[in-house]
Structure 1
């Protein structure tokens, strides 16, 4: 089972810092669920935990609770199967930009987590339940991302999704600890809290799908994938099409700058770009990739070259396109309310 939570620094935050969106997916073997749940409760010593509130002294004396954060992370490092953190550093304006970043992080996390190399890979993803009065339709949108990915054959069809309150599922505390700790690493360049989790964590950039640092033997290796896609990028290599978006600039710490530098040097694989198009419900993105992929194939043929893996990629694009068009027809009369603006730094 994969337990998921997020942290973010939104555009226009009061710190004047570059925004980001990050999501943690902590995977716990099913045979360990009950024992991990009980041990988390024992260490916490109460039936409620929220790392931000613990750190700020809202759950008790900080001299007691801050060391407990490290104790919890050290324990998790010993018992989790693996931890996936996805990061998006390109955030569009307003609620729509944050929603797209969330869907990109979910897409990348779900594909990697559920395709792990274990004999029994995770088949249940548990999100922290979003409050309907704050994020109307938010839980449904999270579930819809996975429905689209499954329809396109990008995530195994047996994967299911639940949205649960951390009051009801204490294992969500694990994801909260990971996302809070990684947030401090990016926003404040403070490695202290995340350090225990680093050996069991793979960090992926949501836009590229590439591992930024470290790896886990249970996870699919983040190779370059099929590269020929759209246009050219610096150095003359092919680049992947993406919808234009306004990116808020701002000052940033060393850790966030390093993440962006590594991601900017990577070339997204075509199948990952297709996944993002499906996960974010963007038929125009898929159509643009299809058009440019056909252009690439024709260019290769004119040079009497044999395009590698052309048929599987063509099938992937067609299946993704059909999946999105089918979902859009179903959703025509069931459009969720727009997500409200989120103000101020989170976590």
Structure 2
């Protein structure tokens, strides 16, 4: 299973070029629930948001989480990144779909045991539907297995999205 998270900067933010990145943390099935419990223990609760925590000076907890992940025996991390041409929503969605496609296709080609992807739900259902349509298109094109599960979930439900 791959847990996906994205980060981006719009073109023009801080007078810099735009980019879109998606990071995938791959966990074998038998470690999914253990990792959720471990993360809850490390942060001392049921809520975590890295940006908020770093802004609030909780760097030590963030580093503890990274160390735990680094020491995990079966975890892999993969990243796909692209430049964003433009700052409008259409340019951001195009970049998002490009990096999601690259990451999922590369993972599918690299590991035949790859069975599913989990990505954080977005605030607008039309954007979630756009992600679902992208995965369906990749499956119909035989670039992804039709059996690959793709779920959009809140990090409050699945702490592995932290």
User: Which TM-score band applies after superposition, normalised by the shorter structure?
Assistant: over 0.9
Tell me, yes or no, if structure 1 residue 71 matches structure 2 residue 64: yes
Correspondences of 1:196-211 after superposition (within 5 Å): none
Greater Rg by CA:
1
Aligned length: 161
Partner secondary structure for residue 156 of structure 2 = coil
Partner of 1:328: none
Length-normalised TM-score, structure 1:
0.45
Cα separation, 2, equivalents of 1:126 and 1:117: 17
Length-normalised TM-score, structure 2:
0.94
Partner of 1:166: 155
Cα separation, 2, equivalents of 1:165 and 1:81: 21
CA contact (8 A) 2:3 2:25 kept: yes
Cα separation, 2, equivalents of 1:3 and 1:10: 23
Query: Relative contact order (C-alpha < 8 Å, sep 6+): which is higher?
Result: 2
Cα separation, 1, equivalents of 2:21 and 2:59: 22
Partner of 1:152: 141
Cα separation, 2, equivalents of 1:149 and 1:100: 15
Partner secondary structure for residue 159 of structure 2 = coil
Cα separation, 1, equivalents of 2:81 and 2:98: 9
Give the superposed CA RMSD. 1.3
Structure number with the higher strand fraction is: 2
Partner of 1:124: 116
Partner secondary structure for residue 122 of structure 2 = coil
Tell me, yes or no, if structure 1 residue 88 matches structure 2 residue 82: yes
Deviation at 1:67, TM superposition (A): 1.4
Tell me, yes or no, if structure 1 residue 109 matches structure 2 residue 103: yes
Unaligned runs of 5+ in 2: none
Partner secondary structure for residue 130 of structure 1 = coil
